[in-house]
Chains A and B, each alone.
Chain A
Amino acid sequence: MIDVRNIHKTFYVPHKVRALVDVSAAVRAGEVVVVIGPSGSGKSTLLRCLNRLETANQGHIYIDGIDILDKKTDINKVRAEVGMVFQSFNLFPHKTVLDNITLAQRVVRRRSREEAHAKAMALLEKVGIKDKINVYPDQLSGGQQQRVAIARALAMEPKIMLFDEPTSALDPEMIGEVLDVMKKLAREVADRVIFMDEGQIVEEGTPEHFFINPINERTKLFLSQIL
């Protein structure tokens, strides 16, 4: 489903940062992969390369068999199949909750008003904010906003969902409600964990492997700091 081969990403502005260095990874359909690592290790950059919000400088990325770094690829088609949830929600402030969820369905998927509406209602029910459909995002709590953002991404019926630290901007008491929604989507909390540091994948394995006997020294250090 996702096949990343030897990608590199370097930022030159405001100064040279090698955000991804020779990263390769593969994710099968239905798999839940969690990427961990210290701040600035390149987690967001890796995720953003997967839907070409950032363009990798080198290497290949195949999404469902399509080479997204190929100039001839219609990236908008690929993006419609790859949902993304951001740390800072990024809801459209000038649109109601309902319109936030129906907008892309209508302009990208070309669904009818009724169809988009029905889809939005079903998803809002699933994320537990059915009573706020005509409210603007700034009248919602952070947790509610993030749940709307998840519903907005799901409405496109994507094959892949990317979550970039979806709870890190939330007050502690709201983290639970967002995680509950995410647990509903995933069969497992994680099939596989990838540990990144300084733009590289340092260690990869099952959650048990990580928390019981990690091999790499950097992994051990990182885990000892957060646990």
Chain B
Amino acid sequence: MDASSELVRIRREPSFYLWAGVFLLLLAAVVGGLYLATLEIDYVWRWYRVPQYFVSHRQIEVRADIKGEVDAIRTEGGATAVVVKGRDEEAVYAVGKSALKVAKGDTVYPGDLLAAHAEWQPGILMEGLWLTLKVSVIAILFGIVIGFITGIARLSSNPALKWTAMTYIELIRGSPLLVQIMIWYFVLGTLINTLLAQQGIGQVPAIWFGVGSLATFAGAYVAEIVRAGIQSIHRGQTEAARSLGMNYFQCMRCVILPQAFRRIIPPLAGQFISLIKDSSLLGIIAIRELTKATREVVTTSLAPFELWFICAVLYLALTFTLSMLLQYLERRLLVS
């Protein structure tokens, strides 16, 4: 019987309700105080302006640019097109998903509406959120790979592997992420893209240097977490596995890593939550992630307070989801 699934009715002390009340009062005081202060400086709250930065309803229009008569409305393979015949010219307009506003035989002038439809478009904040999510997920995946390899190399008795791992870890942990991002973009980025240009090959977009900086940064911390996790597994486990004839890799894969993995998950969760928050620094290399997107809309929105709060809440939603996901994974591993 799972104890956590049982309903337990806890009898609470009267003082519990008193202090719970104090907590709620404090919360209300902070929020109310903030609100009153904004009234004091005549700040006008415009929450209604926020949703447009998530999705906007945009009108898509197809207009004529010649004078003439609608000669035909063709449908070929599901795609509709309007053919307009002028005095000595002819134009074909692809309609796409839009609804027709003209019929065969109508006379149209330049600028006249041929077809139109409204489309939901992601707003700039939505795009920023998506970019933050994308960059974070890719960086986390690479960070895991780099971290596991480095963590295991760090424990190797081979000096080349061990010292390389140690140097990498110390370099990364000893300098600010902001500086590392600059180095990735302005040093490595310039080098790589100039070399590529000399070869006549296309350029690497800024986002990949951003992902690179976050992944190598997280990788160093993941390596230390992995190392500690492996070292926390008792030596007897390795000895038992090796005494049965398993080689180093079989022992790692079947015995050590599965056990280490459970202990690694909670600190890894913390590291990945940091990574999501650290991705906000990527704005400085022109990656329009959530923070940069917010900064951009704030300038034109007339609602800076609302937008910064929304920005914080969105980060919270991302980190909270990730932490729930990893807690679920941890429980799953404990059961199996």
Interface residues of A (CB under 8 A from B): 51, 53, 76-77, 79-84, 86, 88, 90-94, 103-104, 107-108, 149, 152-153, 156
Contact = CB atoms under 8 A, between A and B. Distances in A.
B219 to A, nearest CB: 26
A64 to B, nearest CB: 14
Contact of A153 (B244, B246, B247): B244
Interface of B: 234, 236-237, 239-247, 250, 254-255, 258-259, 262
Nearest to B240: A90
B245 A80 contact: yes
A162 to B, nearest CB: 8
Dominant SS at the B interface?
Answer: helix
B246 A108 contact: yes
A79 B244 contact: yes
B239 A77 contact: no
A104 B237 contact: no
Contact of A76 (B245, B254, B258): B245
Contact of A93 (B241, B242, B247, B259): B259
A124 B332 CA distance: 29
Contact of A92 (B237, B245, B250, B262): B237
B247 A94 contact: no
Given A92-B255, A94-B259, A108 B237 contact: no
B254 A53 contact: no
Given A92-B255, A93-B259, A107-B254, A84 B237 contact: no
Given A88-B236, A107-B250, A94 B258 contact: yes
Contact of B244 (A77, A93, A94, A156): A156
A86 B254 contact: no
A107 to B, nearest CB: 5
Q: Which 10 A-B pairs have the closest CB atoms?
A: A80-B245, A104-B244, A90-B240, A90-B236, A84-B243, A108-B245, A79-B245, A76-B245, A107-B250, A76-B247
Nearest to B251: A107
Contacts of B255: 92, 103
Given A90-B239, A94-B258, A104-B244, 14 more contacts: A76-B242, A76-B245, A81-B245, A84-B243, A86-B236, A90-B237, A94-B259, A103-B254, A108-B244, A108-B245, A108-B246, A152-B244, A156-B244, A156-B245
11 contacts: A79-B245, A80-B245, A83-B244, A86-B240, A90-B239, A91-B240, A92-B255, A92-B259, A94-B258, A103-B255, A156-B244
Q: For B242, B244, B254, B258, which residue has the most chain A Cβ atoms within 10 angstroms?
A: B244
A156 B240 CA distance: 13
A51 B243 contact: yes
Contacts of B258: 94
Q: For A77, A82, A91, A93, which residue has the most chain B Cβ atoms within 10 angstroms?
A: A93
Contacts of A79: 242-245
B246 A107 contact: yes
